[in-house]
């Protein structure tokens, strides 16, 4: 037996959420093999920008799955507004397209990079300088959801952690390195002080119970 999930995101760097989601599934008692896919819809030849419902429909068509994670960053909007947007899209997908795949909302505040700012060693490894000893000054984990631009904070920390300077620092791809951070973390339990993370775990726990995925 295996559990297959697909993650639909705002952008390609948000696939960094996948190790977090897999960890959460294990935390909720899922013991079978978990197969993960990021819905790479950039290769589709379509005119115009896909709506959220269209992205979700393409995702389940291209990547058959047992569970759909749908990510939207809250950014400057209330988390509840983004949550409601996803739930409306899920209802439309079920009503108009007959898609019965269960879905879980993933709505970090303000953006997913806020959930990557708590592990100094993972940031050092992702930056390619695991032996670095410079103080990085990570924000307090309780304040992560209040940071106006967590993406900039993370990218600045990665550049600092790299220990590079001059042209080598200019060539440093912080966006690419940021995606690696979560794959270098084994325990995401510190994030349980954040309301958005707690809400995600609660929603997932309820679904795991409803679907009978826990032995």
pLDDT string in tens for the chain (215-residue length): 899 999 999 889 999 999 999 999 999 999 999 999 999 998 787 767 889 999 999 999 999 999 999 999 988 888 899 999 999 999 999 998 888 999 999 999 889 999 999 999 999 999 999 999 888 999 999 999 999 999 999 999 999 999 999 999 999 999 999 999 999 999 999 999 999 999 999 999 999 999 999 88
Q: How distant is the alpha carbon of residue 199 from its chain centre? A: 14
**CA-to-CA distance for 171 and 27, rounded, in angstroms?**
38
Please report, for residues 128, 160, 193, the alpha-carbon distance to residue 174 in angstroms, rounded to integers and kept in the order given.
11, 10, 27
Please count the other Cβ atoms lying within 10 Å of the Cβ belonging to residue 53.
Answer: 17
Q: How distant is the alpha carbon of residue 156 from its chain centre? A: 20
* Architecture of domain 2-109+194-211 in this structure: 3-Layer(aba) Sandwich (3.40)
Tell which phi-psi region holds residue 163, choosing left (phi > 0), alpha (psi between -120 and 50) or beta: left
Q: What integer pLDDT is reported at residue 37 of this predicted model?
A: 97
**CA-to-CA distance for 86 and 77, rounded, in angstroms?**
13
Q: What integer pLDDT is reported at residue 96 of this predicted model?
A: 85
Starting from the edge strand earliest in sequence, which strands make up the sheet with 2-8, in order? Answer: 33-38, 2-8, 67-71, 103-106
Yes or no: say if 8 and 36 are a contact pair by the CB < 8 Å rule.
no
Show the tokens assigned to 55. 């992205």
Show the tokens assigned to 178. 């940021």
Token look-up 């940071």 returns 147
Q: What integer pLDDT is reported at residue 75 of this predicted model?
A: 85
Instruction: Give domain limits for the chain.
Output: 2-109+194-211, 113-184
Q: Is 121 helix (H, G, I), strand (E, B) or coil?
A: helix
Q: What integer pLDDT is reported at residue 47 of this predicted model?
A: 60
């Amino acid at each position: 037996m295996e559990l297959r999930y697909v993650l639909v995101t705002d952008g390609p760097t948000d696939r960094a959420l996948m190790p977090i989601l897999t960890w959460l599934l294990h935390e909720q008692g899922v013991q079978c093999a978990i197969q993960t896919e990021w819905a790479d819809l950039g290769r589709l030849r379509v005119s115009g920008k896909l709506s959220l419902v269209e992205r979700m429909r393409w995702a389940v068509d291209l990547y058959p799955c047992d569970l759909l994670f749908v990510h939207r960053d809250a950014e400057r909007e209330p988390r509840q507004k983004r949550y409601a947007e996803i739930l409306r899209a899920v209802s439309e997908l079920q009503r108009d397209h007959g898609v019965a795949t269960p879905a879980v909302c993933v709505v970090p505040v303000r953006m997913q990079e806020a959930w990557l700012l708590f592990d100094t060693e993972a940031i050092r490894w992702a930056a390619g300088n695991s032996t670095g000893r410079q103080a990085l000054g990570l924000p307090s984990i309780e304040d992560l959801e209040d940071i106006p631009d967590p993406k900039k904070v993370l990218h600045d920390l990665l550049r600092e952690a790299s220990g590079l300077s001059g042209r080598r620092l200019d060539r440093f791809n912080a966006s690419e390195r940021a995606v690696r951070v979560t794959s270098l973390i084994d325990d995401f339990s510190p994030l349980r002080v954040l309301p958005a993370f707690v809400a995600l775990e609660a929603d997932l726990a309820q679904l795991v119970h409803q679907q009978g995925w826990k032995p």
